[in-house]
Amino acid sequence: MIPHRSTALLTIIIFVALLLVIFSSSPRPNSSSEEVFFGPGSYVPRPKLPSLSDLHLPSFRPTAHAPPETQPNSTSGESKWFSNWAWINPFSSSITLDENRSVLPPLRHRPFVYTYYEPTKGGDDKDAEHADAQLLLAWRRAWFAQGFRPVILGRAEAMNNELYSLMQLTKLTPKLEKELFRWLAWGQMGDGILADWRCFPMARYDDALLSSLRRGTDPAVITRFDRIGSALFAGVKTRINDAIKQAVKKASDTSNSMLELVPPEFFRSESPPTSLAFYDPATIHAHYPTLAEKSSSTSGRLALAELINAHLHTTFQNAFPAGIAVLKPFAEQTTALVEPALRLAKALVQCPKSPVPSSCPPNLQKCHPCDAEKPMQVSQPATYRNTTQVFTIGTLPHPYTLISLQQDSAEVTTRHIRRETERDPWLAEVTKEQLGVEIGGSARAVVFKRAVADEAVVGTSLWMTVESLPPGADQALPPDLLDEFEWQFGFRIPRDGSVNSEKGGDAKDSMQNANPSRQGVAKEYDILGQAREILKSKETNRIGIKDVAEAWNLADTEVWRFVRAYRARSVVERKKWQEDEKDFVGAKLED
């Protein structure tokens, strides 16, 4: 007979076994289904709760190597990135298996925009060539800032087109011959936009026409625009070359324009564009008569380049009626930290030099010209505001840098970080107005990444890390840094005046009066300098405290690396394009 105690034990074992069988055979909920939330919380992504199979346990799953670096040009200095559609993820390391490699959105496609340029016959007038180079550089910069890949073509591309031989069999007027060369060069290169080198995009990045041109064109027709003649066309290679054949076939010794020779069904005419400015002689005579008097001379061309730059700058200022916001969380400890960004903002609100002061672009005659007495507003909010009415400049400190400023010393200890500081304070402060105070750092990181790199916000903000900016007090913004920013804005940034002087001038005074520092700007700069050295140091104890700061502030570290990589990739992209175009006119200017 089985003892009573054994019977009870056997019963318990059978009962537990039955429970295990029942629960292990229960169907798992559909992983694709998502819980529905209502209210503000519905806009915040919620990561899927991990199951037992998702845990990286050494006893069940072998150690994984990081994937090899298969993408070219994906490093710059200490910045490393991986371009992938899965970039909207709280932490990049879950995808790259590399703590220091950030996942960025794939590079946006840059459609080609071509222009045709032939230097003055003879080529001995160096001043005239320099003036044309100024205009071509301005043309490149403006189109590049709007998301295009500008390329300058010449007679060599036209002669490489197989249709060039047809042109030799027909007697043409000089005007039509020049226009045919322009089209032959375009047809040789392929799909894209053909713009006159005096035709400039003069609008916000998200302008409807510019957005449409970035998406491509109808392959069945060549798009043109009323009132600007041959200033801009968009089409595909096959249709372009078909149009050239029709023009050559019908050309005579009295023909002067491609539009006269190509059948109308080849084109689709759009309404006059409000986002393209065409500075042809007729426009200059009509709107800028003082410039028209010397437009054909070298000085007139230089003045035209200065006028166009002023109009591009004015367009930027008109695009953001609420002004420029320089993010400044923790105002009592971060005056020195945001000073370089404030210098940049004050340069952007300056009135640009112009040969025709207070003038408007030809496509927007009712603009609001810059008024030195009433410049754009520069604010220093603590939180980021997602609005298209304001341009945002944000500078992200490394977690260790921010801890040092808040502690009033660069001598930070592990004990202090873990017991005296909150987690991810910078991100929490910057997104507090938008997300409240209850949400964790991972969800905030996703929202912030969208604010930096989402398609909808391109052209409305500039983000950089504190460690990439000048470290000293009263130090002007480096020329190479301003050069880089100009390719994002599309115009030359003013580099003189008190906002960028070596003494600081009014910029520093107004900055301190707006937000007086608790410990003084000089001491803040001293702490910033020490923090930089500690972050660069290879000493074991210093690297350790840096790692502690990063581990304690995972979300702040993630967005800091994201912004650093995003900025570095944009520089690499632009330099690669300039390297490809370095041998062509207008690529650079001689000092």
How do the domains of the chain map onto residue ranges?
112-116+147-276, 298-581
Phi, psi (degrees; rounded to nearest 5) at 537: -65, 150
- For residue 5, the model assigns a pLDDT of 60
d(C-alpha 447, C-alpha 24), whole Å: 38
- pLDDT given for residue 58 in this prediction: 41
Count of beta carbons in the 10 Å neighbourhood of residue 474 = 15
Q: Which residue has the tokens 């599309």?
A: 490
Sign of CA dihedral 253, 257, 258, 263: negative
pLDDT tens digits for 117-128? 988 765 567 888
Check: CB of residue 243 under 8 Å from CB of residue 182: no
Residue 346 pLDDT grade (very low, low, confident, very high; cuts 50, 70, 90): very high
pLDDT at residue number 21? 67
Question: Using CA atoms, how far apart are residues 362 and 456, in angstroms rounded to an integer?
Answer: 27
Looking at residue 502, what is its pLDDT?
40
Q: What is the 3-state secondary structure (H, E, C) of 441-459?
A: HHHHHHHHHHHHHCHHHCC
- Radius of gyration over every alpha carbon of the chain, rounded to an integer in angstroms: 30
What is the average pLDDT across 238-260? 89
Question: What pLDDT is stored for residue 536 in this prediction?
Answer: 82
How confident is the model over 433-458, as a mean pLDDT? 94
Token readout for 352 is 């640009």
Instruction: Write out the H or E segment, with its range, that includes residue 20.
Output: helix 4-24
Quick count: other Cβ atoms within 10 Å of Cβ 465? 20
CA atoms of 47 and 439, how far apart (whole Å): 13
pLDDT digits (tens, 9 = 90+) for 379-425: 999 999 989 899 999 999 999 999 999 999 989 999 999 999 999 99
**Which residue type, as a one-letter code, is found at position 246?**
Q
The secondary structure of the chain in percent helix, strand, coil, rounded to multiples of 5, reads: 50, 10, 40
Please state the rounded mean pLDDT for residues 264-286.
Answer: 93
Cβ neighbours, 10 Å, residue 27? 5
Looking at this protein, which amino acid is placed at residue 261?
Answer: L
Span 180-216, pLDDT tens digits:
999 999 999 989 999 999 999 999 999 999 999 999 9
Catalogue the E-assigned strands of 226-305.
232-235, 267-270, 276-278
Kindly state the average pLDDT of the residues 507-511: 42
- pLDDT tens, position by position, 559-589: 999 999 999 999 999 999 988 888 776 555 4
